[in-house]
Amino acid sequence: MNAAFQKLCAKLTAAGVPDARFDAAELYRLATGRDPRLDDGPSAAEAARLSALAERRAAREPLQYILGEWDFMDFTLKVGPGVLCPRADSEIVCESALALLQGREQPVVYDLCAGTGCLGLGIARHSPGALVTCVEKSPEAWHYLTANTAQTGVRTVQADVFTYYKTLPAEGADLIISNPPYLTGAEMRALMPETAQEPAMALDGGTDGLDFYRLLTEKYRDAVRPGGWLVLEIGYAQGPAVLALGAACGWVNTSCRKDYGGNDRAVLLQKPEKSC
Ligand code: GLN
């Protein structure tokens, strides 16, 4: 291992970066194109590049933003300032939705608060024939969404989910998926330095974190066909509250799925087969 890489690890560790060694290796690869474990050291130009990247990460800019792309499921997304970074936890949300779509030909799917488009793109890739629409309000996130969905067949709409439901045909959707902003007021005041650099608009779910769940369970019910589904990413402590909101709005077969860390992460709500 070379001295420049060792110094980089030490710098990121001192700055409190979690997984400093992993991040250092990623930055080293970005600056040099080579693996630090097999490398003698950077050239002067590479060292200058590396030092600029190290400053940004030491200032706790998300690694994803510095790299400019990040993997989700089996594909890679463009990311950067202004859009929520795709998280491994969200993969379970997408997989839960895909399981519900099995056997359904050309399902109509909406991804609300789509951000990078990770959930909608995951559905489009693994549910052949799915007609997916990603909806996003933020102009900054929109930039990444359109780049990520280009040439994929996924449709994009720039709209506010608090009014978008009024434009949807009744019972036209087989499934609506969303990772809405869900952090509480208290959580918003205690963000990790990296998360604090992500858009508050993608994180802030109102005082109790449930503002978007109240909206989605109530206003998007009409848009889902009988027997169709609403699949929501949730915070680890929100399972009981979101299940209760769903039941209160007449959704049935409500259930929760855990992420790889063992925390509640997805809520699944079905529209009754026959609306009453
Ligand atoms: N999972 C994110 C976090 O913990 C929150 C994402 C969201 O609000 N949708 O930072």
Beta-ladder partners of 178: 112, 232
Atom of ligand 1 nearest to the CA of 113: 9
Cα 140 to ligand 1 centroid, rounded to whole Å: 18
CA of residue 208 to ligand 1 center, whole Å:
14
Q: Name the residue of 84, 119, 183 whose CB sits within 8 Å of the most ligand 1 atoms, as the mutation to test its pocket.
A: 183
Q: Which residue among 64, 87, 197 is best mutated to probe the pocket of ligand 1, counting the most ligand atoms within 8 A of its Cβ?
A: 87
pLDDT of residue 275: 52
Question: Residue of the nearest CA to atom 9 in ligand 1?
Answer: 181
CA–centroid distance, 204 to ligand 1, in Å, is 9
Neighbouring C-alpha atoms within 13 Å toward the C-beta of 254: 17
* Beta-bridge partner residues of 256: 267
pLDDT, tens digit, 9 for 90 and up, residues 160-209? 999 999 999 999 999 999 999 999 999 999 999 999 999 999 999 999 99
Task: Tell me 257's DSSP state.
Answer: E
Q: What is the DSSP letter of 166?
A: G
DSSP assignment letter at 274? S
Q: Count CB-CB contacts under 10 A for residue 259.
A: 18
Is pLDDT above 70 for 276? no
Task: Report which residue type is found at 240.
Answer: P
From the alpha carbon of 183, which atom of ligand 1 is closest?
A: 8
Residue nearest atom 6 of ligand 1, based on CA coordinates: 203
Nearest CA to ligand 1 atom 10: 195
Q: Which residues line ligand 1 (CB under 6 A)?
A: 87, 179-183, 195, 203
- What tens digit of pLDDT does each residue of 139-163 get? 999 999 999 999 999 999 999 999 9
Residues shown for the chain: 276
Global pTM value: 0.96
Ligand 1 atom nearest residue 87's Cα: 1
Distance from Cα 234 to the centre of ligand 1, integer Å: 8
pLDDT digits (tens, 9 = 90+) for 202-261: 999 999 999 999 999 999 999 999 999 999 999 999 999 999 999 999 999 999 999 999
Q: Which atom of ligand 1 is nearest to the CA of 192?
A: 10
Percent of the residues in the chain that have a pLDDT greater than 90, as a whole number:
98
Rounded Cα distance, 275 and 201, in Å: 34
Question: 51-78 burial by CB neighbour count: b if 16+ within 10 A, else e?
Answer: bebbeebbebbbbbbbbeebebbeeebb
Position in ligand 1 atom list of the atom nearest CA 182 = 8
Specify the fold of 69-270. Rossmann fold (3.40.50)
- Which atom of ligand 1 lies nearest, measured to the CA of 195? 10
Give the span between the Cα atoms of 195 and 60, in whole angstroms.
Answer: 9
**Cβ proximity of 122 and 145 under 8 Å:** no
Residue with the smallest CA separation from ligand 1 atom 2 is 203
Over 90: is that where the pLDDT of 274 sits? no
All structural domains of the chain with their residue ranges: 3-59, 69-270
Structure tokens at 23: 């991040």
Q: What are the structure tokens assigned to 115, written together?
A: 């951000």
Pocket test for ligand 1, best of 90, 92, 182 (most atoms within 8 A of CB): 182
Predicted local distance difference test score (pLDDT) of residue 263: 97
